[in-house]
């Protein structure tokens, strides 16, 4: 069977990187159309040069394209607000959506944790860049623990790699990531913080993950984290631990005071990550964007394989 035709809504940084990634690396997907709202955007210009159908009239313009009926999977790389309208249009046309915005209309999908669980859904959500980077680590702790009462993540990204879509969705980012930490990562309580760092030269994405776990050992967590890092590296080679995992034990005589949560006992695990991008379109410091587009493409490739029978 031929490749599954996809459409990308959003011709900004994320949409353009995704277009190039699919065009240059995917064996099961092809980009049939790129949709934007700015006729002067670099993404639309690059798509046109590559022979891909384009429109700058948004989703309504997409419906008028000759390729519309052939599109099977739609990526949305716009905003949480716009995604609601895009979802309605694509759902009514029977097209499956992979949502890269924080809208979270569909269930969360983190490839190394739960990729196969929701592939029949009309809409799957890729959480956020911070979620894609850190939820695998929370889950790595949870799968070897009796429970994870609390998990907190801090995602630091270069302000240069945070476009208008990211900046307009800061609240949705923190809320969606926190819910993803709980629903997918398995923590009972989750918290997320994002930092836009203006440092020059630009820093690559850095993520800090704190978990409080019960009923596990330092050795089991170290092993589980190392295995999970290797799994993520299969689709994001620049994903790595910045330093060794750190531990601190808190008991009845020395409790951990967590702001907004209270006093707690258990094993505190600190995991420090960095994510370097592949450099397909954006600079390598934009690992926050690369991990989103890599996860989205990986999810769509799994849909192509399991739903449409397209083998890699």
Model confidence pLDDT, tens digit, residues 173-204: 999 999 999 999 999 999 999 999 999 999 99
In tens, the pLDDT along 196-248 reads 999 999 999 999 999 999 999 999 999 999 999 999 999 999 999 999 999 99
In tens, the pLDDT along 50-76 reads 999 999 999 999 999 999 999 999 999
Q: Does residue 90 carry a catalytic annotation? A: no
Q: What is the second-level CATH architecture of the domain 129-283?
A: 2-Layer Sandwich (3.30)
Q: Looking at the chain, which residues constitute the CATH 3.30.360.10 domain(s)? A: 129-283
The DSSP code sequence of the chain is -PPEEEEEE--SHHHHHHHHHHHHH-SSEEEEEEE-S-TT-HHHHHHHHTT-EEESSHHHHHHHSTTGGG--EEEE-S-HHHHHHHHHHHHHTT-EEEE-STT--S-B--HHHHGGGSTTSSEEE---HHHHHHHHHHHHHHTTSSEEEEEEEEEEEEGGG--HHHHHTHHHHHHHHHHHHHHTT--SSEEEEEEEE--SSPPPEEEEEEEEEES--HHHHHHHHHHHHHHHTTT-TTEEESS--EEEEEBTTB-EEETTTEEE-EEEEEEEEEE----SSS-TT-HHHHHHHHHHHHHHHHHHHHTT----
In tens, the pLDDT along 11-41 reads 998 999 999 999 999 999 999 999 999 999 9
Of residues 4, 77, 82, 129, which has the active-site annotation?
A: 129
Q: Looking at the chain, which residues constitute the CATH 3.40.50.720 domain(s)? A: 4-127+291-306
Query: Looking at residues 88-105, what average pLDDT do you find?
Result: 95
Nearest to 278, CA basis, from 245, 243, 235: 235
Cβ atoms of residues 7 and 75 within 8 Å: yes
Q: Is the pTM higher than 0.85? A: yes
Residue 119 confidence class, pLDDT cut points 50, 70, 90: confident
pLDDT of residue 1: 60
pLDDT of residue 312: 77
* Residue 263 reports pLDDT greater than 80: yes
Cα–Cα dist 14/98, whole Å:
13
Can the peptide bond before residue 201 be classed as cis, meaning omega within 30 degrees of 0? yes
Cβ atoms of residues 235 and 136 within 8 Å: no
Does domain 4-127+291-306 bear CATH number 3.40.50.720? Answer: yes
Cβ atoms of residues 159 and 198 within 8 Å: yes
pLDDT of residue 168: 83
């Amino acid at each position: 069977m031929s490749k599954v035709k996809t459409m990308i809504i959003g011709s900004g940084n994320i949409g353009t990187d995704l277009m190039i990634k699919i065009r240059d690396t995917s064996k099961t997907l092809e980009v049939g159309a790129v949709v934007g709202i700015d006729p002067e955007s670099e993404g639309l210009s690059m798509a046109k040069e590559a022979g891909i159908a384009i429109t700058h009239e948004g989703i309504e313009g997409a419906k008028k394209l000759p390729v519309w009926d052939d599109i099977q999977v739609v990526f949305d790389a716009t905003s949480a607000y716009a995604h609601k309208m895009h979802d309605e249009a694509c759902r009514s046309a029977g097209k499956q959506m992979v949502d890269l915005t924080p809208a979270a209309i569909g269930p969360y999908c983190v490839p190394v944790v739960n990729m196969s669980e929701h592939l029949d859904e009309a809409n799957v959500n890729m959480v956020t860049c911070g979620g894609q980077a850190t939820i695998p680590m929370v889950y790595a702790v949870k799968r070897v623990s009796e429970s994870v009462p609390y998990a907190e993540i801090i995602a630091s990204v270069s302000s240069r790699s945070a476009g208008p879509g990211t900046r307009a969705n800061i609240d949705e980012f923190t809320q969606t990531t926190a819910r993803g930490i709980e629903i997918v990562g398995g923590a009972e309580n989750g918290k997320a913080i994002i930092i836009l760092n203006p440092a020059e030269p630009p820093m690559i994405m850095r993520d800090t993950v704190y978990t409080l776990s019960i009923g596990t050992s330092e050795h089991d967590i170290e092993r589980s984290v190392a295995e999970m890092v290797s799994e993520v590296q299969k689709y994001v080679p620049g994903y790595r631990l910045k330093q060794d995992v750190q531990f601190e034990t808190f008991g009845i005589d020395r409790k951990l005071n967590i702001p907004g949560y209270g006093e707690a006992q258990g094993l505190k695990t600190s995991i420090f990550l960095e994510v370097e991008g592949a450099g397909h379109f954006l600079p390598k410091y934009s690992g926050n964007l690369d991990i989103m587009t890599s996860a989205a493409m990986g999810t769509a490739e799994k849909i192509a394989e399991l739903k449409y029978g397209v083998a890699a």
